[in-house]
Amino acid sequence: MTMKRASVSMGTFTVVGMLILLPIGAFAQQAPAESAARPSEGIVHTVVAGDTLWDLSSKYLGSPWKWTEIWERNRFLTNPHYIYPGIQVVIVPPGAREFALEQEPAAAAGPAETPAAAAPSVEAVQPPVPRVTPPRVPYLDIKPEEFVRAGEFLKDAPTGIGAIMGGKEPKVGFVEGDTVYLSLRKEIPAGQLLGVYRVRGPIDSPGKRPVSGYVKYLIGVIQAVPNVDGQAAANVRHSFEDLTRADLISEEIPAYAPVRIDPGADGIPCSVITGRLWNEELAQGDFIYLDQGASAGVAVGNVFRVFVPTGVESGSEAHSAPGKVLFEAARAVVVRVSPDFSTVYVASSSESFAAGVSARRGIPSK
């Protein structure tokens, strides 16, 4: 297969003394800034009908996919996707306050003493304090709306709580603003948010290990509304792709979490099972799934090098394998891990690659 050449080449950045050959602009950023201003009095929101943490996150934190930041401050909420009108939700906690303690005057005891004459003050010359620049903390540079669509690879076919039966309009695919009718296996209160997922599979890995399973990833968010003629219904709040009758409805909605880059020790050879989509060729910006996970020592933030047996880019690194020489085509960062599999974001690539190629954790020292 002829490999495409990606337009983005590899650059460099430093991680605590390590040299990592990846473009700074496309791969890493500084530690994430606070999502919202932190006024001294804090921000408390009184919930009204129709509010969700997803909406409040969009309003106050700039992205609906940061809703877990609010939930962490309000863990009395048992269902983060359904909140009641009238309750108060802490968006930003109040800042620290300083209190001045009054000192009681000392009790008089005996005649007052005559204070000694003060010695002439000699102002000490203080040397200037050098400004210390905090060390750079690398985080994966990825938008929240991309991060939440990373998906996962599962051994067994995923199940949800139902599916879309149709819509108010006679359409095949549904998008933001549409009203859809649902077939649900449990009762959902009006106002609750639900995730809509696309599932494809079974998929057999073309790699060395015999792996078979399913890909599941988010394609939209819907919000339940009162039943229409006795039929469960919902409004489509957000759609990345057209929602169809074949898609799965779940109470799970993913959230964004900053990924701190930690390359990990060299090792853990594995194979690319597949990409999130049906792409024959994978490259920078794609999500891929590896056939090794937490049980093998993989952790979020680890960097994997992806190798191809043909095609050499200028400056690419060779890796020996029995009977052939492999060349580095891409570098990717783990964003999600399960015991058996890893979801990895391709942060940079010098050429495209196909499912089944090998990968290895770690960045060799120069």
- Whole-angstrom CA distances from 135 to 140, 217, 279 are 16, 35, 39
Q: Mark which of 250, 281, 314 sits at the end of a domain.
A: 250
Sort residue 239 into left (φ over 0), alpha (ψ -120 to 50) or beta: beta
Q: Are 137 and 30 in contact (CB under 8 A)?
A: yes
Cβ atoms within 10 Å of 171's Cβ, excluding its own: 14
Do residues 238 and 287 both lie within one domain?
no
Q: Where in the sequence is the domain holding 66, given as residue range(s)?
A: 42-91
Do residues 275 and 363 both lie within one domain?
yes
In a domain, residue 340? The reply is yes
Q: How, if at all, do strands 342-349 and 287-290 pair?
A: antiparallel
pLDDT digits (tens, 9 = 90+) for 47-60: 999 899 999 999 99
In a domain, residue 61? The reply is yes
- Whole-angstrom CA distances from 128 to 125, 134, 196, 365 are 9, 18, 59, 38
- What does the alpha-carbon distance between residue 215 and residue 208 come to, in Å, rounded to a whole number? 19
- The CATH number that applies at residue 49 is 3.10.350.10
In a domain, residue 51? The reply is yes
Please report the pLDDT score of residue 136 as a whole number: 77
- What does the alpha-carbon distance between residue 187 and residue 224 come to, in Å, rounded to a whole number? 10
Do residues 17 and 63 both lie within one domain?
no
In a domain, residue 142? The reply is no
In a domain, residue 35? The reply is no
pLDDT digits (tens, 9 = 90+) for 271-286: 999 999 988 899 999 9
Do residues 269 and 244 both lie within one domain?
no
Do residues 279 and 311 both lie within one domain?
yes
Cβ atoms within 10 Å of 322's Cβ, excluding its own: 4
Q: Are 292 and 316 in contact (CB under 8 A)?
A: no
Q: Are 44 and 89 in contact (CB under 8 A)?
A: yes
Q: Which of 49, 28, 5, 3 is nearest to 333 (CA)?
A: 28
Do residues 13 and 58 both lie within one domain?
no
Q: Are 241 and 151 in contact (CB under 8 A)?
A: no
In a domain, residue 162? The reply is yes
In a domain, residue 57? The reply is yes
Burial class (CB in 10 A: 0-12, 13-18, 19+), 294: middle
Please report the pLDDT score of residue 42 as a whole number: 84
Q: How many residues does the chain have?
A: 366
Please report the pLDDT score of residue 44 as a whole number: 95
Q: How, if at all, do strands 18-20 and 28-29 pair?
A: unpaired
In a domain, residue 136? The reply is no
Number of domains in the chain: 3
* pLDDT tens-digit profile, the chain (366 residues): 444 444 433 333 333 333 344 444 446 665 555 444 445 568 999 999 989 999 999 999 999 999 999 999 999 999 999 999 999 999 988 865 554 555 555 554 555 555 555 555 555 667 777 777 767 779 999 999 999 999 999 999 999 999 999 998 889 999 999 999 999 999 999 999 999 999 999 999 998 888 999 999 999 999 999 998 889 999 999 999 999 999 999 999 999 999 999 999 999 999 999 999 988 899 999 999 999 999 999 999 999 999 998 644 434 455 555 556 789 999 999 999 999 999 999 999 999 999 999 999 999 876
Please report the pLDDT score of residue 350 as a whole number: 95
Do residues 18 and 62 both lie within one domain?
no
> Which pTM does this prediction carry?
0.79
Please report the pLDDT score of residue 68 as a whole number: 96
- What does the alpha-carbon distance between residue 137 and residue 283 come to, in Å, rounded to a whole number? 26
